Amino acid sequence: MGLSTKTGRCQALLGFDKIRVVPGTARRGIVIMMENAWLIPLFPLLSFLILLLFGKRLKEASAYVGILFTLASLVYSILVLFERFSEPTYGTNFEWLTIGDIHLTAGFEVNQLNALMLVIVSLVSFLVHTYSKGYMNGDERFPVFYAYLGLFTFAMLGLVISPNLLQTYIFWELVGVGSFLLIGFYFYKEEAKAAAKKAFIMTRIGDVGLFIGMILLFWQTKSFEYSEIFKAVDAGAVSGTMITLTAILIFIGAVGKSGQFPLHTWLPDAMEGPTPVSALIHAATMVAAGVYLVAALFPLFQASKTALLTIAVIGAFTAIFAASIGLVQTDIKRVLAYSTVSQLGYMMLALGSAGYVAGVFHLMTHAFFKALLFLAAGSVIHAVHTQNIEEMGGLWKKLKFTGPLFLIGTLSISGVPLFSGFFSKDEILAAAWEGGHPILFFLALIAAFMTAFYMFRLFFMVFTGKPRTEMKNVHESPANMTYPMMLLGVLAIVAGYVNTPWFGSFLGDWLVDGNPRLGHAHVEGPIWIMIAATVVSLLGIFMAYLMYYKRSLARNWLSGTGDTLHTILTNKYYVDEFYQLTVIAFTKGLSYFLRFIDVFLVEGLVKGVVGIVQGLGRTGSRMQSGQVQTYGAVAFIGLALLAVIYALTGGYLR
C-alpha cells in the first residue's frame, strides 16, 4: 500500500486531488500494477516528447528511445493483464472539467477488455517499433517517424483504458491524428497528402456521429461514464428510440474508424503510409478501435435490437463487399487493406449478432495475423522495391523467412483449421447463425471463401512461379525485421487456442466474467458450421491454387469473357468517383454559391449603402454654393419656420 499512497500524493500534487475509486470495484487487494496502469500510455508519450525535442540530435538512436519506452509499456501491460486475472476491475477518476454543477471526470479503468487490448496494442506497437528500425533505416526523418509512432501508441493505449465516453472520444481523435501524420509521412508525395487528408476527413465524418451520439447520451443519462450509462440503460431511464438513435450514431463513429461501408474508402488509400504503419495502425490497432468501441459499449447496443441489426448488416455487407474488391487488386498492400476492411466487417457482424466474445476474439487474432501479413509484405517490398504483385513472383526461395511467415499469416486469415483465424472465424459464423441471421451467415461464408481465394492468390503470385520482372539484389530483411515477424507468426498460430471448442473457452469465460450483459462466453453452433467453414476456405485455396499456381484455370475464368464485373471490381465499385461527383461536388458548388452571395449580395448591400451615402453627400455639397447670401436666406427661413412652429405649438413638439 506504500506505493499507492505515494501515487495519491503525486496525483494530489498535480491537482488531481479528487480521486475517487469507482464504487463497487474497490477491494483490499494488492493491485499495485492496476493502480498505476495510467503509466502505460505515458511511456510512449514520453518517447514522443523526447523525440520531438531531441530527435534531431539522437538521429538513428531515436529508435532505441521508442523501442525502450514501448517495451516498458508492454511489460507493464502484461503485468496488468496477469494481475487482472486474479483481481476485479479497477478504476479511478479525477475531476477534469467543471461546468456549473456538471463535473466531468477523467481517469482510467482496467477491466477484462481493456487489459486484453492493452497487451495487444503495446505488443504490436513494440514489434512494429523494432521492425521499423530496419525498415525505415536511412530515412531522413527517422526520428520524426518514431516520434509519431510514440504519439500514436500513446493515444491508442489511452483510448483502451478510458473509463468514459468523453475520454474515449478524446483519444479516439488523437489516434486519428497519429494515423493522419503517419499516412502523410512521405509528405512530399501528392498521393500521401491526398490520402492523409482523406483519412482525416472521412474518419471525422464518423467522429461527428460519435460526437452527437455521445452528447445526446449524456443528456439522457447525465454521465459519460460507461458504468453510469449502462446503469441508466438497465434502469430504463432512456427511451427505446433514444437508445437506438444514440447507439447508431455512436456506431457511425465506429464505421468511420473501422473503415466500414460506406466510409471505407480512406483505409485502402491509407496504405500510402510506410508499411510498418499500415501494420500497426491500419491493421492491428486503430481500425480495430471501432470494434473496440462497440464492444466497450456493448450493453448499450444490446438494449436496442435495431442497432444490433444495423451493425450486423453493415458488418456482413462490408465483409463481402471489401472481399470482392480484394479479389482483383494488384497492389500487395491494397489487397491486405481490403482484407482488413473485410475482416473488420466480420467483427462487426459478430458484435451485431450479439457475439461479444467472438468479435473481441477475432479482433485479437486478426491483430496478430494481419500485423504479421503487413510486416511480411513490408519485408517483400523492402526486398523488391515494388508493391505491384504482377511484377513479383518466385520469391519463396529468396526470402527464406518472409515466405513461410507470410504463409502462416495467409493460412490463419483464410481460416485453415488449427490456425488462430480458424477458431475466431468459426466463432463468428456460429454467432451469426445463432443470432438468427441466416442470410448474413451465408454472406459471411461467401466472404470467407473469397478471403481464402484472394489471400492465396496473393501468396501464389508473390512467392511462387517465375519472377515476372527482373529483380536485382533481392535479399532477406535484417534480423530486427524478421524477429518481430517470427513472434507474430507464433502468435498467429497459437493465439486461437485460448478460446476453442475443444480445449475450453478460457478467453470467453474470462471476458464475460461478472458481466452477464455481455452474453455467453461461448456460442455453441451446430457442428456443420465448422465443417462448412473449413470446406469453403479449402475450396478458396484450391481455386487460387488452380488459377495462380497450376494455372490450369484461366484467370478470367470467374468473370467470363465480359470484363464488366472485373472493371467494376478494379474500380472498387466506383465509390470514390461517386463521392467525388456527389458530396465533394455539392460541397464545392455550395461554397461557390456562398461566395457568390458574399461577393454580390453582402458586398452589394454594402456598396448600395455606400452609394446612397455618397449620393446624399454629393447633393449636400452641391447645395454648398459658397454664396453667403444663400446660406443666410436658408438660415433665416429655418429660423422663421421654427418661430412659426413655436407659435403654433406653444413651445414643445409633442
Partner 1 sequence: MSSVPASAFLALALILFCIGLYGALTKRNTVIVLISIELMLNAVNINLVTFSKYGLNPSITGQIFALFTISVAAAEAAVGLAILISLYRAKKTVNIDEMDIMKH
Partner 2 sequence: MNLHWILSILVFSPLLGIVVLALLPKTQEKVIKAVGLLATVPALLLALAAYLHFQWGKDLADFAVSVPWIQFRGMGTQEPVFSVYYELGMSGFQMLLVVLTAVVATLSAIAAAKFVKKEWKGYFMLFLLLETGMLGVFTAENLILFFIFFEITLIPTFFLIGKWGYFEREKAAYSFLIYNGLGSAVLLIVIMILFGKTGTTNIDLLTQMMADPNVPLSSDLKLGLLIALLIAFGVKLPIFPLHSWMLKVHVQAPPSVVMIHSGILLKIGAYGLIRFGMGIFPEQFKTLATLIAVLGVINLLYGAFLAFIQTDFKMVLAYSSISHMGIVLIGLAAMNEAGVQGAIFQVVSHGLISALLFFLVGVLYERTDTSLIENLGGMAKGMPIAAGFLLAGALASLGLPGMSGFVSEFMAFLGLFKELPWVAAVGTIGIIMTAAYLLRAVLGMTYGKAHREFTGVLDLKGVEFVPVVVLMLLIVLIGVYPSVLSAPLQTTLETIMLGIGG
C-alpha cell at 270: 491509407
Q: Which of 398, 432, 429, 395 is nearest to 415 (CA)?
A: 429
Contact partner at residue 629 from partner 1, partner 2, none, CB < 5 to 8 Å by partner kind: partner 1
Burial class of residue 155, CB neighbours in 10 A (0-12, 13-18, 19+): buried
Nearer to partner 1 (CB atom), residue 5 or residue 629: 629
Nearest-5° Cα angle at 522, 516 to 525: 130
Side by side, which strands form the sheet with 102-110? Answer: 20-21, 90-99, 102-110
Peptide bond into 274 cis (omega under 30): no
Binding mask 166-185 for partner 2 (x = CB under 8 A): x--xxx-xx--x------x-
φ, ψ for residue 118, nearest 5 deg: -55, -45
Q: Find the helix or strand (DSSP H, E) in which 109 lies.
A: strand 102-110
The verdict on 99 binding partner 2 (CB under 8 A) reads yes
Q: Which residue has the cell 525485421?
A: 481
For residue 534, the tally of other CB atoms under 10 A from its CB is 16
Nearer to partner 1 (CB atom), residue 29 or residue 617: 617
Question: Which residue among 97, 612, 616, 637 contacts partner 2 (CB under 8 A)?
Answer: 97
Cβ proximity of 491 and 420 under 8 Å = yes
CB of 501 to partner 2, least distance (A): 42
Question: Which residue among 390, 524, 577, 603 contacts partner 2 (CB under 8 A)?
Answer: 603
Question: Which residue among 2, 100, 562, 651 contacts partner 2 (CB under 8 A)?
Answer: 100
Nearer to partner 1 (CB atom), residue 469 or residue 625: 625
CB of 590 to partner 2, least distance (A): 6
SS3 141: coil
C-alpha 555: how far from chain center: 34
**Residues within window 635-654 making contact with partner 1, judged by CB under 8 A:** 636
State the SS3 of 16-70. Answer: CCCCEECCCCCCCCCCHHHHCCCHHHHHHHHHHHHHHHHHHHHHHHHHHHHHHHH
C-alpha 193: how far from chain center: 19
The verdict on 14 binding partner 1 (CB under 8 A) reads no
Question: Which residue among 85, 542, 592, 636 contacts partner 2 (CB under 8 A)?
Answer: 592
The verdict on 626 binding partner 1 (CB under 8 A) reads yes
**Residues within window 12-71 making contact with partner 2, judged by CB under 8 A:** 15
CB of 613 to partner 1, least distance (A): 22
- HSE at residue 279, side-chain half, CA atoms within 13 A, is 31
Cβ proximity of 448 and 536 under 8 Å = yes
Question: Which residue among 628, 647, 648, 653 contacts partner 1 (CB under 8 A)?
Answer: 628
CB of 129 to partner 2, least distance (A): 22
Q: Which stretch binds partner 2 (CB under 8 A): 203-211, 232-240, 262-270, 318-326?
A: 203-211
Distances 56 to 51, 185, 277, 569 between C-alpha atoms, Å: 8, 16, 21, 45
Contact partner at residue 169 from partner 1, partner 2, none, CB < 5 to 8 Å by partner kind: partner 2
CB of 625 to partner 1, least distance (A): 7
What residues have CB less than 8 Å from 344, skipping those under 6 apart? 258, 259, 260, 287, 288, 290, 291, 315, 318, 366
The verdict on 188 binding partner 2 (CB under 8 A) reads yes
Distances 553 to 350, 393, 543 between C-alpha atoms, Å: 35, 18, 8
Question: Which residue among 469, 632, 638, 643 contacts partner 1 (CB under 8 A)?
Answer: 632
Contact partner at residue 590 from partner 1, partner 2, none, CB < 5 to 8 Å by partner kind: partner 2
Give strand pairing partners of 97. 104
Site size with partner 1, rule: CB under 8 A: 9
Nearer to partner 2 (CB atom), residue 219 or residue 652: 219
Residue type, 473: N
Give strand pairing partners of 197. none
Give strand pairing partners of 104. 97
Cβ proximity of 267 and 322 under 8 Å = no
Question: Which residue among 87, 197, 262, 313 contacts partner 2 (CB under 8 A)?
Answer: 197
Q: Which stretch binds partner 2 (CB under 8 A): 206-214, 268-276, 398-406, 464-472?
A: 206-214
C-alpha cell at 568: 467494376
Q: How far apart are CA 96 and CA 625, in angstroms?
A: 72
Question: Which residue among 71, 137, 204, 546 contacts partner 2 (CB under 8 A)?
Answer: 204
Contact partner at residue 197 from partner 1, partner 2, none, CB < 5 to 8 Å by partner kind: partner 2
The verdict on 594 binding partner 2 (CB under 8 A) reads yes
CB of 504 to partner 2, least distance (A): 41
Contact partner at residue 99 from partner 1, partner 2, none, CB < 5 to 8 Å by partner kind: partner 2
Residue type, 608: G
The verdict on 629 binding partner 1 (CB under 8 A) reads yes
Nearest-5° Cα angle at 497, 492 to 503: 165
CB of 628 to partner 1, least distance (A): 7
Nearer to partner 1 (CB atom), residue 605 or residue 640: 640
Q: Which stretch binds partner 2 (CB under 8 A): 435-443, 489-497, 595-603, 619-627?
A: 595-603
Q: Find the helix or strand (DSSP H, E) in which 102 lies.
A: strand 102-110
The verdict on 526 binding partner 1 (CB under 8 A) reads no
The verdict on 552 binding partner 1 (CB under 8 A) reads no
First to last CA, the chain: 86
Residues that bind partner 1 (CB under 8 A): 624-629, 632-633, 636
Residues that bind partner 2 (CB under 8 A): 15, 95-102, 166, 169-171, 173-174, 177, 184, 187-190, 192-193, 196-197, 200-201, 204-205, 208, 211-212, 215-216, 218-219, 587-588, 590-592, 594-595, 598, 601-603, 605-606
